[in-house]
Every structure is written in structure tokens, then in C-alpha cells.
């Protein structure tokens, strides 16, 4: 047997050999013949050789277009060579299903034919697989039905399939012995279960079959064909093809339905084998290029429709040819199988993998979010994981060998790229990675590449900065209506070695997305509490509160409460002077857990302020249950004062609500005297903004207010 026929079959990657596949196909009761692109038969299983007269005779007598073995149409007429199933597939490129043909001989043998194209990586048909299921007995039953009911019953008793006969009016059903054997039961079941064709049917099939039978009885059709599933005695379901005739009375009413049930288990298994031959790589078991293209054809429009970004990572192994030539093809195959295993264990189960051929692999990432920059960062992180996983040594030929990958990445979303464009761009990016040193990753779009590199570099720098405590605390004052200092808000600045002073807008989001916000937040809280401890001994600053921003991610950390209490004890800071500022994003998560942590800290004196009030998830129910001390009016409302009617109404509502709930209110973002006067007139007691004081390093803040306070 030519192993090349099954070289695209995924079984070989799990220990199956061409001989194993041949033995399997030789034991199924379905004739399987594989033809080459020239239409000549190149393989036949045992059933096919028996059917057509032996393997040697098959090659000589059954070229598809020769006419040496003319087939018959279902009506008995001669079939032109160009109409045979192989020619139809080669001509149209489409599969042929359920073609009934006759095989001449001493007596005609009737066959149900299904033919499938096997397409190569170049998109051309390389082979045609044809399955023949003998239905001679079914034809005999059909002929017997036309002659007499008695002859039909005799034919049913002698059938090798599973004949049955149903009297529609009386409801009586006759089952052949084979009918019961097919389901593993003894024929005596006919006495106990006269409607077994219904009671044994899969529940999901029953509505469809009932509708089919009702329509068949009411129509003028004389034949039927239907697939469904019947329960075997051991519990599994047998796929069945039921075909037969409808006997009608003088007015056309269907009074009897008779036919045979064919067990499709072997045929379905053979179809699955053929599918895997066509769509999966035989060596690694991964989808091949054809299946990848099909998947991408569905993924691209879905991502564009949902506004989601995705990424295609094109992977090529560095120096694979050299390794293959020096260690041998067995070692090369082992490497490719190991690469496939590492890809599967590195990416998510929802991601898509494929082997394009040779040493080229593809990973498709879906649902990376609606933000392009975040999607690029996520793709870069996955790419870095793949570089690390594939770069580990492989045990080949009893010695460790290193095979690094070069990866090209292209992003897709609403950019309307075709599948071929996407693959071509990823391929170009991969070659760029090879040119620039190999064992690396490059994006197709240079601007995206630069952004990804900046983000990764910034992430690494951020990690080092947290370890080295390269951050500075700034304070912006909060004044009372009398102009006296009442509190301050901590603002963080990053003193970068080359970029200078980096604002929080550039790194806070990155810290949250990478989990670095936890150690960063702990550092800010520690420094802030040290400042409060210093102020507690200063008569000019001891009453000043200090507001510190806390992210929802910090609050969700299991050790958050213990962390805050430990810092307060270690620094000696007065807890009642510490205000933890939370944004309304905490309301989008576990409210009970957040409330419990806040109450635990509040019982030790720590205060809470709700920042950016009115811009997110706020509701009166939240304000009622959370132990808040103050609200902060967001600067987006303040900037429209005093002339913005809606802004003024919102501010009035917030102030009225705060008075009712006995909460203090801080208005931030005050930049003009008119804004300040409007807020003071409405009863706002705490003010913050550039008009009242710019953010300054905490040391300057302390010394500056000490020199100005009485």
C-alpha cells in the first residue's frame, strides 16, 4: 500500500501506521477506492477488491473514464464515462453524495456511491476517495414491492441489511431478524415492542422523523430516504440510513411503508478518516493550511463584526534545514512533533493552531479586546511566551538541541484584510524577524512594532523602578472655604533615567494590566503613611488629611486589609488622617467583598473618599451601604461652571445628596475664581485645583505650608 495516500492523516502522529489504516479499511463492509488526479485507481480495500474482481484487475479494468467497466444509472440505463462519480468530482471539484449505480455482471449489483476530493496544500485535487455501499438487496426489495406484498415480505426476511414493513393504518410493524441484530437485541423484542422504531430512536431525531413521516404519508412520493439514530442495547446510538417505498391505495393515501435500514457506523467512520486526511497534518495532528484558511475565513468577519482585535502569529524554526540534514529526518520529525506539543500547552484552548508545512506554524489569537494598543501588547506577551517555550532545548538523537523560532505578527480587526493578505503580511514580518537576528518577534506594521516595543520596555523599566523605588510623591492641597489647608491628595510621578519625569497617564494603566499596581500601590501607601507620621508631630500639619488613590485591583487583593494595617502600625501614622480614594469601578465587581474590606479598615479609623463621583457606576444604593466619608465632584462637572446649566444642576444635586448622607464634598479641578465662588456659594466646603495650589513634591509641600501657616 502506498503510504502517501494517507500521509495527510492525523492518525500517524498518534502511533498509527499506513498498515494500521489499511487493516482498518480492509475490515469495514464498505468498498473504498482511491483514485489519482489522472482518474486511475491507486488503492482499493478488501471489500472493493472483492467487489470489482481483485487488485490487479481493478487497476486494469477500472480507470474512471475508460469505459472498461461501464456503470449503470439507477434506472438501469448505461452511464456515460464522464458521468461516473470520479469524473464528476475531478470536473466540478465537489463531492458526490448518494449516487446509486449498477455494476454489470452475471447479475447487476447495485451500489450507493459517495465520492470526495482530497485537496493538497496547493488547493488542487490530488486524489478522489470513493465509498461504495452495496444496496442490491434494497433494489430487490423495491422490485418486490412493485410486484406483490408477499414477495416483499420474503425479500425482507432474506435481506442482509435490516428490512422492515409498517402498516400505517393498523400500526403493525414487521421487523426482520437483522433489524434486531443491528441493535444487539433478540428478535423476540417484536412481541414486546411493536413500535421499536420510535422507542429506540434518539430523542433529538424524533421531531424531525415525525414531521418527515407525516409529510411522506400526505404526499405523492413513492420512495423515501432518511437518516436517524437508533439506540443499541448497550446504550450507544447506531447511525442508520433508512430507504424504501411507500405503497398507496386507490386514492393516493399512503397505507404501507417498507424498506431497509443500513448501519452507517463504518461508513461514518470512513468519512471521518477521509475528513482528517483532507484537513489535518499527518505528522503533528494539527490542522493543515486548508483548515486554517477555512477558520480564518470565519474569524476575520466575526472579529470585524464584534469590534474585537485578533492576531496571527507566523512561526518559522531557525536553521531547521541544517538540523534536519545533520541529525536526520527522524530527528526533524520529532522536533516538529515536539513544537506542536509546546504550542498546544502555551496558548489558550480557544486559540487556533495550524502547521502550514515544513517548519512553518501559525497561531491565531481571537478576542484580544476592542483597544488596539492593548491587543498589540497582549499579542506581544503571547509571542514572548512562545519564544521562551520553543527556545528551550529539545532532546533529539540522545542529545539536547536548540531550535529557536522567528515570529511574525499581524493584527486584524476592522482593517478588512483578506486571508491571503493576512498570511502574506505575517510571513513578511517573520522574515523581518529573521533578518534582525532570529529568535525574536516582529510586527508587520512598524508603528505597531514601535508601540509594542515601547510598552514592553516601559513594563520592564516599571518593574525595575518599583524595585529601586524610583518614584516621587507629589501633593496637591485641598483648602477649606476660609483658605486654610485642610488636606492634600497624593499624586505619583516616575523619575525615569532617560525619559525624565513620566506622568501617571503613561504608566498607571500599564501597571494595572500587568499586575504591577499591587507592589506600586503598596509603596505609595507606605510613603504616604510615613508623611502622615511626620505631620502628626507638627502642630501646623497634624490636622491635615492625606488622600491616596487605590485601584479596584488593590482592593480585590486578598491581603489588602492586613497590608494597610501593617503599614499603619509600622509607620505610626494616625489612621483617621488617611483617606483612601476609590473610583466607581469598584462597583463593577464583588460589592459584598469590597464593602467588608472597607468596613474592616473603617473600624480602625481609616477614611474613604469616592473619586470621580457621577461619572461611572454610582447609585444611591452603593452610597447607602459603603462606609464613605466624602465624595469628590469630578473635574468634568467643575470645568463647565458657572455657566453650564446642566453642570450646575448636577453639582447642586451632589451637594444636596452629600448633606443628606452627612458626607463631606471635595470639588476638584478648580481653575477660575468664578468656579470657586459658585461652589462656595452652593455650600461646598473643600476645594482643590490649580487655582488653589499646584502639585508639588511632598518635601516642598511640607516646607511651603509650614512657612505660610500661622
Domain boundaries, the chain: 3-134, 138-265, 283-444, 469-708
- CB 500: neighbour CB atoms within 10 A? 9
Q: Specify the CATH number of the domain 3-134.
A: 3.30.450.20
Query: DSSP alpha helices (H): ranges in 572-667?
Result: 591-602, 620-625, 635-638, 645-661
The order of strands in the sheet holding 41-44 is 41-44, 31-36, 125-134, 109-119, 96-103
> 138-265 adopts what CATH topology?
Beta-Lactamase (3.30.450)
Q: Do 106 and 127 touch, CB atoms closer than 8 A?
A: no
- What is the pLDDT at residue 563? 94
Q: What CA–CA distance (Å, rounded) separates 118 from 275?
A: 9
Angle at CA of residue 568, ends 562 and 571, nearest 5°: 135
Give the span between the Cα atoms of 501 and 511, in whole angstroms: 17
pLDDT of residue 588: 60
What is the CATH code of the structural domain delimited by 469-708? 3.20.20.450
Q: What is the pLDDT of residue 448?
A: 54
Q: pTM above the 0.85 mark?
A: no
Note whether 3-134 and 138-265 share their fold. yes
Question: What pLDDT shows up at residue 159?
Answer: 52
CATH hierarchy code of domain 283-444 = 3.30.70.270
Closest CA to 359 of 336, 331, 393, 340: 336
Q: Chunked in runs of 10, what are the mean pLDDT values of the chain (710 residues)?
A: 51 63 81 85 84 54 51 82 84 88 81 88 86 85 64 53 80 78 71 67 88 84 87 87 85 82 82 73 85 87 88 90 78 87 88 88 90 89 91 78 88 83 87 84 74 75 86 92 91 86 82 86 93 91 92 88 94 94 74 88 93 64 79 87 81 88 91 91 91 91 65
Amino acid at each position: 500500500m502506498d503510504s502517501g495516500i494517507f500521509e495527510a492523516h492525523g492518525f500517524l502522529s498518534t502511533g498509527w501506521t499506513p498498515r494500521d489504516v489499511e487493516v482498518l479499511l480492509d475490515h469495514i463492509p464498505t468498498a473504498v477506492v482511491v483514485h489519482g488526479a489522472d482518474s486511475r485507481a491507486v488503492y482499493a480495500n478488501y471489500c472493493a477488491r472483492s467487489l470489482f474482481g481483485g487488485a490487479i484487475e481493478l487497476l486494469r479494468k477500472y480507470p474512471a473514464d475508460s469505459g472498461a467497466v461501464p456503470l449503470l444509472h439507477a434506472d438501469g440505463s448505461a452511464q456515460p464515462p464522464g458521468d461516473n462519480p470520479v469524473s464528476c468530482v475531478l470536473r466540478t471539484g465537489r463531492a458526490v453524495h448518494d449516487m446509486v449505480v449498477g455494476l454489470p455482471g452475471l447479475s447487476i449489483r447495485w451500489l450507493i456511491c459517495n465520492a470526495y476530493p482530497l485537496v493538497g496544500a496547493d488547493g488542487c485535487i490530488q486524489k478522489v476517495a470513493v465509498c461504495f455501499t452495496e444496496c442490491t438487496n434494497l433494489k430487490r426489495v423495491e422490485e418486490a414491492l412493485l410486484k406483490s406484498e408477499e414477495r416483499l415480505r420474503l425479500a425482507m426476511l432474506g435481506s442482509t441489511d435490516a428490512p422492515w414493513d409498517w402498516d400505517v393504518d393498523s400500526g403493525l410493524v414487521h421487523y426482520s431478524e437483522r433489524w434486531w441484530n443491528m441493535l444487539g437485541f433478540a428478535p423476540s423484542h417484536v412481541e414486546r415492542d411493536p413500535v421499536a422504531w420510535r422507542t429506540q430512536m434518539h430523542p433529538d431525531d424524533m421531531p424531525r422523523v415525525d414531521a418527515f413521516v407525516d409529510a411522506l404519508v400526505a404526499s405523492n412520493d413513492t420512495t423515501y430516504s432518511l437518516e436517524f439514530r437508533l439506540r443499541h442495547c448497550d446504550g450507544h446510538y447506531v447511525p442508520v440510513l433508512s430507504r424504501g417505498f411507500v405503497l398507496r391505495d386507490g386514492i393516493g393515501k399512503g397505507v404501507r411503508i417498507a424498506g431497509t435500514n443500513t448501519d452507517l457506523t463504518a461508513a461514518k467512520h470512513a468519512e471521518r478518516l477521509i475528513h482528517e486526511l483532507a484537513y489535518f497534518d499527518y505528522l503533528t495532528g494539527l490542522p493543515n493550511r486548508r483548515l486554517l484558511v477555512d477558520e480564518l475565513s470565519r474569524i476575520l468577519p466575526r472579529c470585524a463584526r464584534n469590534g474585537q482585535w485578533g492576531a496571527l502569529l507566523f512561526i518559522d524554526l531557525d536553521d531547521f534545514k541544517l538540523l534536519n540534514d545533520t541529525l536526520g529526518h527522524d530527528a526533524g520529525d520529532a522536533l516538529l512533533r515536539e513544537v506542536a506539543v509546546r504550542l498546544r500547552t502555551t496558548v489558550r484552548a480557544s486559540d487556533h493552531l495550524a502547521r502550514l508545512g515544513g517548519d512553518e506554524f501559525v497561531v491565531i489569537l481571537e478576542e484580544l479586546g476592542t483597544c488596539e494598543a492593548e491587543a498589540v501588547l497582549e499579542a506581544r506577551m503571547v509571542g514572548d511566551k512562545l519564544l521562551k517555550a520553543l527556545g528551550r532545548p529539545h532532546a533529539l538523537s540522545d542529545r539536547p538541541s536548540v531550535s529557536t523560532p522567528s515570529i511574525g505578527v499581524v493584527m486584524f480587526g476592522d482593517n478588512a484584510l483578506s486571508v491571503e493578505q493576512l498570511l502574506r503580511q505575517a510571513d513578511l514580518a517573520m522574515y523581518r524577524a529573521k533578518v534582525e537576528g532570529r529568535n525574536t518577534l516582529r510586527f508587520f506594521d512598524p508603528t505597531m512594532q514601535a508601540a509594542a516595543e515601547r510598552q514592553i520596555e516601559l513594563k520592564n523599566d516599571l518593574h525595575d523602578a518599583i524595585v529601586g523605588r524610583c518614584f516621587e510623591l507629589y501633593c496637591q492641597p485641598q483648602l477649606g472655604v476660609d483658605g486654610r489647608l485642610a488636606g492634600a491628595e497624593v499624586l505619583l510621578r516616575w523619575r525615569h533615567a532617560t525619559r525624565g519625569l513620566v506622568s501617571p497617564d503613561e504608566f498607571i494603566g500599564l501597571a494595572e494590566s500587568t499586575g504591577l499596581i499591587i507592589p506600586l500601590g503598596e509603596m505609595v501607601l507606605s510613603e504616604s503613611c510615613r508623611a502622615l507620621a511626620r505631620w502628626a508631630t507638627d502642630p501646623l500639619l497634624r490636622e491635615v488629611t492625606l488622600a491616596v488613590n487605590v485601584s479596584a485591583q488593590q482592593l480585590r487583593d486578598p491581603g489588602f486589609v492586613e497590608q494597610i494595617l501593617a503599614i499603619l502600625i509600622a509607620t505610626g501614622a494616625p489612621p483617621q488622617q488617611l483617606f483612601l480614594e476609590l473610583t466607581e469601578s469598584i462597583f463593577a465587581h464583588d460589592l459584598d467583598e469590597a464593602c467588608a474590606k472597607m468596613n474592616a479598615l473603617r473600624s480602625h479609623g481609616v477614611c474613604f473618599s469616592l473619586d470621580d463621583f457621577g461619572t461611572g457606576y454610582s447609585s444611591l444604593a452603593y452610597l447607602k451601604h459603603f462606609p464613605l466619608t466624602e465624595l469628590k465632584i469630578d473635574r468634568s462637572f467643575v470645568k463647565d461652571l458657572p455657566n453650564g446649566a446642566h453642570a450646575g444642576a448636577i453639582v447642586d444635586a451632589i451637594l444636596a445628596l452629600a448633606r443628606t448622607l452627612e458626607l463631606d464634598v471635595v470639588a476638584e479641578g478648580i481653575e477660575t475664581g468664578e468656579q470657586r465662588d459658585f461652589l462656595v456659594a452652593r455650600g461646598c466646603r473643600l476645594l482643590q485645583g490649580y487655582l488653589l495650589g499646584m502639585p508639588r513634591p511632598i518635601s516642598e509641600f511640607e516646607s511651603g505650608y509650614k512657612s505660610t501657616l500661622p
